[in-house]
Amino acid sequence: SEDNYRAGVRALSRAKRNDYTDTLKAHGVADKGYMLCTEAVYQHLLGGRSHELRNKMNLPANSNLRDHLDASKLAFVMAAEALAIERIQEEGRQGNEACITASVKSASAIKSAIESDRRNRTKAA
């Protein structure tokens, strides 16, 4: 069912989220840096910061945004975080600002791929 499918994607997204935060920690992200990296992904991929997205979705202020994203959006967030992990590790980024920038670049790359795919779709004859 759709609920089981979404639950599976959500579980995978939690695992990728843990990989992402572990990578941020290993690369010197501290304090509000975790939040700022996450907000960078949301802003550049989904078009807003978490509080803006919650408002748009009519969710309570303290709700977990990811619990309310559809499976596709969760997959896109996972892909952005996976790319950010690679970029942070391969480029040896250290600290909040460097990891925020890596997260922006990776989320923007996923957003570009999504938009490109959507632009060049054609109807079957």
Q: What digits encode the pLDDT tens for the residues 5-59?
A: 888 888 999 999 999 999 999 999 999 999 999 999 999 999 999 999 999 999 9
Number of neighbouring beta carbons within 10 Å of residue 21: 15
Query: Could you tell me where the beta strands, DSSP code E, fall in 1-125?
Result: none
pTM here is: 0.92
CA distance 29 to 35: 10
Q: Which of 9, 7, 21, 18 is nearest to 74 (CA)?
A: 9
Encode burial over 107-120: b for 16+ CB neighbours within 10 A, e otherwise. Answer: bbbbbeeeeeeeee
> In which band, very low, low, confident or very high, does the pLDDT at 106 lie, cut at 50, 70 and 90?
very high
Distance of CA 10 to CAs 3, 77, 81, 104, 122, Å? 10, 11, 14, 22, 30
Residue-level pLDDT at 18: 95
Mean pLDDT of the chain: 95
pLDDT tier, 84 (very low <50, low <70, confident <90, very high otherwise) = very high
DSSP 42: I
